[in-house]
């Protein structure tokens, strides 16, 4: 199976057309590709598109922010401070 062609409908949506590579088969299919969520923010001041943050990323951030403080030293932070 290979993507024969694709057409951008919007910045977040593409129509795709697939073709079986087996010559005897010759089947073709159509589908779509969408971009639904942002996993990490853009480094640009004005990005091309702004999407909602993925729910899983929001959950991980909430868990990290609400984690109980421990007396255990953060070795990565200590290494960064030493540099």
| Reported pTM | 0.58
pLDDT band at 4 (very low <50, low <70, confident <90, very high): very high
Task: Tell me which H or E stretch contains 6.
Answer: strand 2-10
Strand runs labelled E in the chain: 2-10, 13-19, 28-34
Q: pLDDT digit string (tens) for 48-81? A: 888 999 998 888 888 888 877 777 777 777 777 7
């Amino acid at each position: 199976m290979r993507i024969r062609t694709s057409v951008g409908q919007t910045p977040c949506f593409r129509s795709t057309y697939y073709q079986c590579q087996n010559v005897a088969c010759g089947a073709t299919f159509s589908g779509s590709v969408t971009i639904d969520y942002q996993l990490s923010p853009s480094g640009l001041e004005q990005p091309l598109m702004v999407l909602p943050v993925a729910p899983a990323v929001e959950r991980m951030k909430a868990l990290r922010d609400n984690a109980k403080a421990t007396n255990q030293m953060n070795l990565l932070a200590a290494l960064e401070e030493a540099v």
